[in-house]
Chain A
Amino acid sequence: KNEVEQSPQNLTAQEGEFITINCSYSVGISALHWLQQHPGGGIVSLFMLSSGKKKHGRLIATINIQEKHSSLHITASHPRDSAVYICAVIGGGADGLTFGKGTHLIIQP
């Protein structure tokens, strides 16, 4: 079974800072999700990627399949980016999606 580790678990930063959240996994995968969960619980899918890099607005996600590692970057962070960011991997076993425990991000004004 795939083990998904995220770091850091908690991150507090000032508005405008460049943010990096990391995700590593133990078994080869088909693709990887980055998800955002706001207080109240609703989850939004930010990216699904299987290679290289994707960019959407101030968010950038990269993945290195050989190193089994992905990063989510937020440029020019803003308090509205405060949320839990979750990495989930697809494939690598019969159990479907496997999720990390999430990174709780707080951006202070």
Chain B
Amino acid sequence: DGGITQSPKYLFRKEGQNVTLSCEQNLNHDAMYWYRQDPGQGLRLIYYSQIVNDFQKGDIAEGYSVSREKKESFPLTVTSAQKNPTAFYLCASGGGSPISYEQYFGPGTRLTVT
């Protein structure tokens, strides 16, 4: 079945450690996105990539890094520089830029940093 997978569903880390969240899609979409969700707030865009080997910062990119070496994969690294990393992280993919196309969302990863 076509879709977006994120792993793991729950992730626990100690403060000061970098952690990488996985996102894979087999929808043949060019664009992929990472969002963060905090209680009582709307989803916020961290990074997006419209094409392989290219990515752009979103609203809250500080403390995060991404890579896009393959069309299917868009991993997000939460670095120790991210001040409040505990959140729910959603990956999405779509046909093109964020302003043009429908987006499909993965199941999310809930990250807890203590």
Contacts and interface: CB of A to CB of B under 8 A. Distances in A.
Interface of A: 4, 30, 33, 35, 40-45, 48, 86, 88, 90-91, 95-102
A99 B44 contact: yes
Interface residues of B, number: 26
B88 A41 contact: yes
Contacts of B88: 41
Contacts of B105: 35, 42-45
Given A30-B100, A42-B107, A45-B102, A86 B42 contact: yes
Interface of B: 33, 35, 37, 40-45, 48, 58-59, 88, 90, 97-100, 102-108, 110
* Most-contacted residue by chain B among A97, A98, A99 (CB, 10 A): A97
Contacts of B35: 99
B90 A90 contact: no
